[in-house]
Amino acid sequence: MGGADADMGRERGSRDCRLLPAALVLWTAILAAEALFAILIKGEQPLAEWSGDGASCAPGWLMPVCMATGGFAVGVILSKRGMTFIRHGADMRVAMMVVIMVSIVGVTSAWAHLLVRWHDPAAAGARNGKVEVVAVGRITEPLKTSTIREADCQAEMKLESILLQGVSRRSSTQVRAFFTGGDCAAASRGATYRVSGVLREAEYGGTPLWLTVGSDRNVERVRDPPVTDLVRAHMQERFFDAVSRLSDQGRVLVPGLTMGVLGQDHVPSDGRWEAGMVDETYANRLEDSFRNAGIMHLMAVSGGHFVLIASLVRRLCSRFLLPRAVTACCIAASYGLLASLMAPGDSVSRALIMGWFNAAAMAVGRRPQALSALCCTVIGTLLADPAMAQSYGFALSCAAVLGIVILTGPLTSAFTRILPKPIASGLAMTVAAQYATMPIQILMKPQLPVLSCVANLLVAPVVSYATLLGLAALLCAWADDDVAYGLVWLASLGTRVMEVVADGLGNADVAVLPWKDGITGALAMAGIEAAALIAIRMIVRRGGRGSDDGPAAKRFTRDPRNRLGIWFADTVRLVTDSNRTAWRGREVNLHGESD
């Protein structure tokens, strides 16, 4: 009992990692539930499509070797720390209870959501092939240029009802609707439409169903968008008007940096989509070079935007000497407003909910802890919407935050010994985020961005300023066009730096290295990273453990560099100083003296 208290007394409340195992187990449990559902009810083989090509011909000895190595490692750890685990049994039982409860609850929620989605009338109808429907639904995201050739623009719709083979039923799936021609100009976000077209299952992407609306006269507005949506659309359109006066790279990159929508993906709502805002070839090439350089994550809205806004709001509130609870409410409200102005996405949701947790902590008077807020975000989001467990945007966002929170401190202290302080901290954050997101990036595209740390370091100074200028332009574009144009022009100077870095590093020959694709490649990368972490930790611990036992002489000569220096000095003296050689009886110096 005394031992347990003493150990618990060594724990620090500001490093709260209690929910981390629960969050990880919940994510794994939901993925396992989805795989089980796919095998049992859909009749698919989910592992086949995840393993990539070549997994079926993986050598048979690989699995037993991996298991033997893993078992050996576990045995070594247990033999060294086995007493630790046995003594802390009571505490670990409570933690295990929480983990088991989380996994049960996660599997239940995931199975229920999957069943409802499976039995949805639209999904059931589209399962047998293409089907003609008349669907009533609301457009939930801004229109984008279409990714398939047969249509001009696409919009995410949430269905209200569907008329299928003469029977009209209530449905609530997400559908990606593809429009052509004048329908693109007519459709606006937030409005409810009745569309008739062909429904089929999606070939790629997160939305499960695709609805191709034939041509004109198939789209009819049932309900207008609410006033808030009209206001937001007006603000965003004025911002894009200001952006359209910039150079090519500004037109592509400034909206991406500010709102998360690349310039070529935007569909203006007054019929100018036919001309297109940007040359498509140039835009695709720029996007590819950004992806190869590893700085594509800048074009998605992440926590950086929210942190900037939060610091501004907090300074403003402290200038007025407002109490802490009021400051927290202001920060939460500004988070909500900012998230509604950005292009919707899973990383935006993650940043928003995590920001709300931090604001709640500030309101109560606790220190906001990133790791604890992240774990609560992951658990809450996955329980409310288990489909997010398979979302790449959400996974990348969470992994990046986890890496930054855990690894930035040790890496900064390690790099500060070699590099100057500002470069060390920037590089440490980049390396930490890259380290954590590498396995997920390999799942998306099986290549290693070799130069991404350098690229991120080069663009790090301009990102915050360009983002702030873009956000300021977005907020004032509805009032004054010229002020907005000035601000986005300044922001485009920053994006010019990004374009130069991406062109130089992204198109270099050695920019990317190929890697094994599929889940085997991701697991291999995760294994290599874990081994590297353990190796570094062992080296640091061995170097640090013997730091203060033994006399100073022993400590001095334990360092191999010092031993090498002593040997070298002795050798030089031996060779060059023949008067005072240490060889007795071998030589007598010129004057007949001997030592």
Partner 1 sequence: MAHCGGMGLQRERINAGAAARRLRSLEEPGDVDVRRAGRSSAVDAGRPGRLAPPRPPIPPRAGRRGAGKTSIGELSGVRPGDADVTVEHRMRRDAPRLRFTPGHALAAMLLLVAVTCASLTLLVRQSLNYATVGQSASHGIVRTYEDTQGESGATSDATQPQGTVTQPQGSTEQPSQPEPQTSNGSQEPQGMDAKDTRINLNTATLEELDSINGIGPVTARKILDYRARTGGFSSVDQLLEVSGIGAKTLEKIRAKVTV
- For residue 430, state whether it binds partner 1 (rule: CB under 8 A): no
Using CB under 8 A as the binding rule, the residues of this chain from 325 to 354 that contact partner 1 are none
- For residue 573, state whether it binds partner 1 (rule: CB under 8 A): no
Question: What are φ and ψ of residue 304, in 5° steps?
Answer: -60, -45
Least distance (Å) between residue 570 CB and partner 1: 14
Using CB under 8 A as the binding rule, the residues of this chain from 44 to 83 that contact partner 1 are 81, 83
Using CB under 8 A as the binding rule, the residues of this chain from 171 to 230 that contact partner 1 are 172, 182, 185-186, 188, 194, 197-198, 214, 216-217, 219-224
Place of tokens 């206001």: 231
Least distance (Å) between residue 94 CB and partner 1: 5
80/561 with CB nearer partner 1 = 80
Count other C-beta atoms under 10 Å from residue 81's C-beta: 10
Question: Residue-wise over 440-477: b if at least 16 C-beta within 10 A, else e?
Answer: bbbbeebbbbbbbbbbbbbbbebbeebbbbbbbbbbbb
67/384 with CB nearer partner 1 = 384
Least distance (Å) between residue 55 CB and partner 1: 31
112/530 with CB nearer partner 1 = 112
Using CB under 8 A as the binding rule, the residues of this chain from 300 to 329 that contact partner 1 are none
Tokens of 454: 């350098």
Inter-CA distances, 112 with 32, 43, 68, 132, 345, Å: 14, 18, 37, 28, 24
Least distance (Å) between residue 517 CB and partner 1: 32
Least distance (Å) between residue 197 CB and partner 1: 7
Q: Which of 287, 296, 335 is nearest to 312 (CA)?
A: 335
Least distance (Å) between residue 95 CB and partner 1: 5
Mask 120-159, x = binds partner 1 (CB under 8 A)? Answer: -x------xxxxx-x-x-----------------------
Question: What are φ and ψ of residue 566, in 5° steps?
Answer: -65, -45
Residue ranges of the alpha helices (H) in 365-480?
Answer: 370-384, 392-416, 421-444, 452-476
72/85 with CB nearer partner 1 = 85
Q: State how far the Cα of 551 lies from the Cα of 559, in Å rounded to an integer.
A: 13
45/84 with CB nearer partner 1 = 84
Least distance (Å) between residue 11 CB and partner 1: 4
Least distance (Å) between residue 360 CB and partner 1: 14
Count other C-beta atoms under 10 Å from residue 545's C-beta: 9
Which position among 28, 45, 69, 84 is part of the footprint of partner 1 (CB under 8 A)?
84
Q: State how far the Cα of 405 lies from the Cα of 370, in Å rounded to an integer.
A: 7
Which position among 25, 36, 168, 448 is part of the footprint of partner 1 (CB under 8 A)?
168
Count of alpha carbons within 13 angstroms of residue 221, beta-carbon side:
12
Contact 179, 153 (CB under 8 A): yes
Mask 260-299, x = binds partner 1 (CB under 8 A)? Answer: ---------xx-----------------------------
Using CB under 8 A as the binding rule, the residues of this chain from 21 to 50 that contact partner 1 are 22
Q: State the number of binding residues for partner 1 (CB under 8 A).
A: 82
Using CB under 8 A as the binding rule, the residues of this chain from 86 to 105 that contact partner 1 are 87-88, 91, 94-95, 97-98, 101-102, 105
Tokens of 20: 């981390």
114 beta partners = none
Least distance (Å) between residue 168 CB and partner 1: 4
Q: State how far the Cα of 198 lies from the Cα of 210, in Å rounded to an integer.
A: 8
Q: Give 187-229 as a 3 state SS string.
A: CCCCCEEEEEEEEEECCCCCCCEEEEECCCCCEEEEECCCHHH
Using CB under 8 A as the binding rule, the residues of this chain from 379 to 398 that contact partner 1 are 379-380, 383-385
327/369 with CB nearer partner 1 = 369
23/469 with CB nearer partner 1 = 23
Contact 251, 277 (CB under 8 A): yes
183/499 with CB nearer partner 1 = 183
Q: State how far the Cα of 444 lies from the Cα of 442, in Å rounded to an integer.
A: 5
- For residue 421, state whether it binds partner 1 (rule: CB under 8 A): no
Using CB under 8 A as the binding rule, the residues of this chain from 533 to 562 that contact partner 1 are 547-554
- For residue 11, state whether it binds partner 1 (rule: CB under 8 A): yes
Q: State how far the Cα of 190 lies from the Cα of 141, in Å rounded to an integer.
A: 8
Among 236-244, 321-329, 377-385, 500-508, which window interacts with partner 1 (CB under 8 A)? 377-385
